[in-house]
């Protein structure tokens, strides 16, 4: 079986953890991480992961900051089966149509509303209802603890 090709959009606190978790999965392959920052976070990622720029402006900024950029977010999406969007609240909702247009399944972080994907995932409560979906959002850690 071929591993699931996964990209991560947003390499902050959550994105770093998601990328590291993907690297540990035998049935997944991390294609790369995308972001807009040019600081130490993305520089540390560039030392060990393929980095993509989420916007054209970010690509120029990363280049100017000495970060090796593998391509654009669209180029990352072209190589992925699924994207995990860990960008700040409301940013992921704006990205969802881009993911759908690329034919890539999407997992959004808990800052987005349930209505964004029509599904909120909690493994202990509704794993089966997530099967076969094109998108879902993972609820916050606080919500998970309540479930």
Active site residue 80: no
Using CA atoms in the order 110, 132, 15, 138, what is the torsion angle rounded to 10 degrees?
A: 20
Pairing of strands 28-35, 4-9: parallel
Kindly report the CA angle at 104 between 129 and 49, in degrees rounded to 5?
110
Q: Which of 141, 142, 145, 146 is catalytic?
A: 141
Kindly report the CA angle at 113 between 111 and 119, in degrees rounded to 5?
110
SS3 letters across 37-95: CCCHHHHHHHCCCCEEECCHHHHHHHHHCCCCCCEEHHHHHCCCCEEEECCCCCHHHHH
Burial of 71 (0-12, 13-18, 19+ CB in 10 A): middle
What are the residue numbers of the active site?
A: 141
């Amino acid at each position: 079986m071929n591993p699931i090709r996964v990209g991560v959009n947003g390499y902050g606190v959550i994105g770093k953890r998601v990328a590291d978790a993907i690297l540990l999965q035998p049935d997944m392959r991390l294609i790369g991480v995308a972001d807009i920052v040019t600081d130490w976070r993305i520089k540390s990622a560039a030392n060990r992961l393929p980095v993509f720029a989420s916007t054209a402006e970010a690509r120029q900024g990363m280049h100017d900051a000495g970060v090796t950029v593998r391509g654009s977010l669209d180029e990352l999406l072209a190589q992925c089966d699924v994207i995990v969007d860990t960008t700040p609240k409301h940013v992921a909702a704006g990205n969802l149509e881009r993911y759908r247009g690329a034919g890539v399944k999407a997992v959004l972080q808990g800052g987005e509303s349930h209505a964004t994907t029509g599904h909120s995932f909690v493994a202990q409560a509704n794993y089966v209802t997530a099967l076969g979906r094109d998108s879902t959002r993972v609820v916050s850690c606080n919500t998970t603890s309540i479930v």
